[in-house]
């Protein structure tokens, strides 16, 4: 099912608003300028794609958090108004928000910014944060498509935001990837130019954007009020993959990028021959550009030499977590103008680069119905999305698309579980610990034997978050009877709920700055500030090359990742199994969202398609799930029960935190008193406890839920078969 685009909004180096973005692109004018908001004197690059009206020294005192929120609000409101959502008749609790962002301000949890943005916009639907470094907003657009298809929302505001700050500039400077001059992707000199900004789309189901079902309240309100609303284009599909190669460098073969593009094409139901243009990640670095070109040759074969391939970073700089959505906006605007945007600053052809980088001073005439936008990131997180022009005939065909999606659904089973936590390493110890109801080991993970539980993995040099996640994933794989392969497993991926970067790595970064100065900060610690760093490290150590993503929602974060993984397996064909769960690392000076020190650990489950075979019987089914806005517990549970075809009143046991006031008639199994309130880890631990409960034959069906979230309310139905 396509997601049609009814609104667009932008804040970037070319100015504020879609008109400013397109006028700059059409004129062949970049927005790269001298950095004035803060001093760049000690860095190789002193230029960036800065938002022009916030680049002066007068704005040096504005916090990164405030600027991020300002950029996001401006872009989101433009998209909102363009889509006419105020007059749409869509209830606020049926409008979701998915925000992609990379580093934020290094201080505030990323999901807090998303919650603040939702509150400022008056949204009451699910609010999810995707943080996969530079592919964040591309992944966010895809997740928004999933929310629409699952019926968790009637409209989704999806996009990304990131602000350039001295620490980010210092980090990329220390990695040696910045260009002294304006970035010239696929050409010379090598190097990238950083940027900043925000972009948003309003996405709606093609079946309801113009022609809602006649018997719904939304349709009765929407019909007359949205007559002038235009459908600008559609997202046809998206794909994700993990390189399983390196923390900051791409796989030089481009295999990971190729898998993401192929997954997007398959999701869209398109062959490579349908793609008329590629907006590449195109950072201009000596590592990224050749790898990306090899990926395009892998997907498109010799035809890749005929496809125009350009990089919008030559206009806007590298806007980090916001780059994907901004580049998609440029792609869509160009397609509507029957043109392709050029790669600016091109001087001379480089080896292992696109044959047609659109070397021109302005957009070149070009007609095509579909384009691909692709992005790559630290931790090897790749994402690609297929965008198409709006077509009236596709809108009327939406019901057929729904029918295909429903009939193609697959059963999802829990085939393995593993956890590292205050209880130690044995997942069978989780239920007894919960029954005891006493805080274990002060919420800390005790020392454990790597040689016994994760052989062939060297834990030296890993921060605690990466150690916890890798160990828990390995235990879950062992429980599922899955061997860690020497060669990369492209059919197995990782989707994790994480809210904070490693506190140990954060302290290491701060210390390196204090001791050595900002220009000589620790590159290792800097690379670990992206939220997906532990997942990227884990996927590399365990050779997992399938879909890779990291979501953040505060409380319930682990369950949100479980839902994402289960839905992926049920509705897609590019993975056989996914590891999903939650991760928290104890912060010696930190507090949890409820005011208590958090527990720590990682809890993971291997979710597999029912037609997979293995040494263990797949007796536990992820039967259904629901996702709703803050405080909408009954709605989330009703969705889960509906998709599982079961009655809630027949479920006697519920696992999770904060459920006493929502289902007092059920037996509540809450891991928080024993394990602490790690918002990602504890919610995933509730899932594992429920699996163990079912394995022991104590119930046939249970509810796993979290009612404490400020971003989302999650509910999952597990059944014993």
Q: What is the pLDDT of residues 137-191, one digit of tens each?
A: 999 999 999 999 999 999 999 999 999 999 999 999 999 999 999 999 999 999 9
Strands 275-279 and 15-16: unpaired
Residues 378 and 475 in one domain: no
pLDDT-derived band at 228 (thresholds 50, 70, 90) equals low
Q: By residue range, what is the domain housing residue 543? A: 412-720
DSSP code string of 509-536: HHHHHHHH-GGG--HHHHHTTSTTHHHH
Strands 370-375 and 412-420: unpaired
Residues 395 and 541 in one domain: no
Q: What is the pLDDT of residues 405-453, one digit of tens each?
A: 333 467 999 999 999 999 998 899 999 999 888 899 888 998 877 777 6
pLDDT-derived band at 216 (thresholds 50, 70, 90) equals very low
pLDDT of residue 207: 67
Residues 402 and 465 in one domain: no
The Cα 194–Cα 182 span in angstroms is 10
Residues 595 and 677 in one domain: yes
Question: Considering only 155-169, 400-414, 483-497, 534-548, which range has the smallest mean pLDDT?
Answer: 400-414
Please state the domain count of the chain.
2
Domain end point (choices 386, 407, 428) = 407
List the Cα angle 383/389/393 in 5-degree steps.
120
Residues 436 and 401 in one domain: no
Residues 403 and 470 in one domain: no
Q: Are 292 and 75 in contact (CB under 8 A)?
A: no
Q: What is the mean pLDDT of residues 128-135?
A: 97
Other beta carbons within 10 Å of 379: 32
Q: What is the pLDDT of residues 639-679, one digit of tens each?
A: 999 999 999 999 999 999 989 889 889 999 999 999 988 89
Residues 444 and 375 in one domain: no
Nearest Cα residue to 577 out of 547, 601, 609, 555:
609
Question: Considering only 586-595, 605-614, 659-668, which range has the smallest mean pLDDT?
Answer: 586-595
Q: Are 529 and 500 in contact (CB under 8 A)?
A: no
Report in angstroms the alpha-carbon separations of 420 from 427, 506, 523, 695.
8, 22, 28, 20
pLDDT at 85 over 80: yes
Residues 401 and 416 in one domain: no
Other beta carbons within 10 Å of 201: 33
Question: Considering only 369-373, 388-392, 490-494, 500-504, which range has the smallest mean pLDDT?
Answer: 388-392
Nearest Cα residue to 479 out of 424, 544, 417, 543:
417
Report in angstroms the alpha-carbon separations of 305 from 16, 94, 299, 425.
35, 44, 12, 52
Residues 493 and 370 in one domain: no
pLDDT-derived band at 321 (thresholds 50, 70, 90) equals very high
Domain end point (choices 372, 389, 407) = 407
Cis upstream peptide for 189 (omega within 30°):
yes
The Cα 476–Cα 473 span in angstroms is 5
pLDDT of residue 434: 92
Report in angstroms the alpha-carbon separations of 558 from 111, 164, 334, 465, 616.
14, 30, 39, 14, 24
Residues 397 and 459 in one domain: no
Total residue count of the chain as it appears in this document: 721
Residues 580 and 643 in one domain: yes
- Show the beta-strand stretches assigned E in 31-181: 33-34, 47-48, 95-100, 127-130, 155-162
Distance of alpha carbon 209 from the chain centroid:
25
Give the ranges where 210-322 is alpha helix by DSSP (H).
Answer: 217-225, 255-268, 288-300, 313-316
- Look up the pTM and report it: 0.94
Q: What is the mean pLDDT of residues 525-530?
A: 94
Average pLDDT, the chain: 90
pLDDT of residue 610: 82
CATH number, position 295: 3.40.47.10
Question: Considering only 286-290, 454-458, 611-615, which range has the smallest mean pLDDT?
Answer: 611-615
Q: What is the largest CA-CA distance in the chain?
A: 72
pLDDT of residue 398: 31
How many secondary structure helices (H) and strands (E) does the chain include? 23, 25
pLDDT of residue 587: 78
Q: What percent of the chain has pLDDT over 70?
A: 92
The Cα 289–Cα 294 span in angstroms is 9
Residues 22 and 80 in one domain: yes
């Amino acid at each position: 099912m396509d997601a049609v685009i009814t609104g667009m909004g932008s804040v970037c180096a070319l100015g504020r608003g879609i008109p400013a973005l397109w006028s700059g692109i059409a004129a062949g004018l970049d927005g790269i300028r001298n950095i004035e908001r803060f001093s760049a004197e000690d860095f190789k690059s002193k230029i960036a794609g800065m938002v022009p009206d916030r680049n002066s020294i007068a704005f040096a005192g504005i916090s990164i958090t405030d600027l991020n929120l300002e950029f996001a609000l401006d872009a989101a409101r433009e998209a909102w108004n363009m889509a006419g959502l105020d007059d749409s008749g869509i209830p606020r609790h049926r409008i979701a928000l998915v925000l992609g962002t990379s580093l934020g301000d290094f201080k505030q949890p990323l999901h807090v910014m998303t919650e603040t943005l939702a509150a400022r916009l008056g949204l009451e639907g699910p609010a999810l944060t995707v943080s996969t470094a530079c592919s964040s907003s591309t992944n966010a657009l895809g997740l928004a498509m999933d929310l629409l298809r699952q019926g968790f929302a009637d409209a989704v505001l999806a996009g990304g935001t990131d602000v350039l700050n001295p620490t980010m500039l210092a980090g990329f400077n220390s990695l040696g990837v910045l260009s002294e001059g304006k970035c010239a992707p696929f050409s010379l000199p090598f190097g990238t130019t950083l940027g900043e900004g925000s972009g948003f789309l309003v996405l709606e189901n093609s079946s309801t954007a113009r022609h809602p079902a006649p018997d719904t309240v939304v349709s009765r309100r929407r019909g007359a009020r949205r007559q002038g609303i235009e459908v600008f284009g559609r997202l046809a599909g998206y794909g994700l993959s993990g390189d399983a190669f390196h923390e900051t460098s791409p796989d030089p073969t481009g295999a990971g990028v190729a898998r993401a593009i192929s997954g997007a094409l398959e999701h869209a139901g398109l062959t490579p021959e349908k793609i008329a243009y590629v907006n590449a990640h195109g950072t201009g670095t000596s590592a990224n550009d050749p790898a990306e070109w090899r990926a395009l040759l892998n997907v498109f074969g010799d035809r890749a030499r005929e496809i125009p391939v350009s990089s919008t970073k030559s206009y806007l700089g590298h806007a980090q977590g916001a780059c994907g959505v901004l580049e998609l906006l440029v792609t869509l605007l160009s397609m509507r103008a029957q043109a392709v945007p050029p790669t600016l600053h091109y001087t001379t052809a480089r080896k292992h680069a696109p044959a047609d980088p659109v070397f021109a001073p302005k957009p070149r005439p070009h007609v095509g119905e579909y384009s691909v936008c692709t992005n790559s990131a630290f931790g090897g997180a790749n994402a690609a999305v297929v965008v198409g022009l709006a077509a009236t005939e596709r809108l009327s065909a939406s019901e057929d698309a729904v029918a295909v999606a429903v009939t193609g659904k697959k059963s999802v089973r829990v085939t393995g579980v593993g956890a590292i936590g205050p209880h130690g390493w044995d997942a069978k110890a989780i239920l007894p610990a919960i029954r005891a109801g006493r805080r274990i080991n002060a919420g800390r993970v005790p020392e454990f034997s790597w040689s016994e539980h994760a052989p062939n993995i060297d834990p030296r040099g890993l921060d605690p978050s990466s150690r916890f996640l890798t160990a828990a994933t390995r235990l879950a794989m062992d429980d599922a009877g899955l061997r860690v392969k020497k060669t990369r497993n492209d059919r197995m991926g990782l989707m994790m709920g994480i809210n904070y970067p490693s506190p140990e790595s954060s302290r290491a970064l701060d210390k390196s700055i204090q001791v050595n100065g900002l220009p000589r900060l620790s590159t290792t610690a800097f690379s670990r500030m992206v939220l997906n760093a532990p997942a990227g490290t884990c996927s590399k150590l365990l050779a997992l090359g399938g879909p890779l993503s990291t979501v953040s929602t505060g409380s319930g974060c682990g369950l949100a990742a479980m839902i994402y993984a289960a839905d992926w397996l049920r509705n897609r064909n590019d993975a056989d199994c996914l590891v999903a769960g939650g991760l928290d690392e104890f912060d010696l000076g930190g507090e949890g969202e409820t005011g208590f020190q958090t527990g720590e650990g990682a809890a993971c489950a291997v979710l597999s398609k029912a037609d997979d075979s293995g040494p263990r019987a797949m007796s536990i089914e992820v039967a259904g799930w629901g996702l709703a806005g803050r405080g909408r517990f009954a709605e989330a549970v009703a969705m889960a029960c509906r998709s599982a075809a079961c009655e809630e009143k027949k479920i006697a046991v519920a696992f999770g935190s904060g459920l006493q006031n929502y289902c007092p008639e059920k037996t509540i199994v809450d891991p928080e008193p024993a394990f602490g309130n790690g918002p990602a880890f504890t919610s995933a631990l509730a899932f594992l406890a429920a699996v163990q409960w079912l394995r022991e034959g104590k119930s046939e069906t249970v509810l796993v839920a979290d009612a404490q979230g400020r971003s989302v309310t999650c509910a999952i139905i597990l059944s014993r078969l």
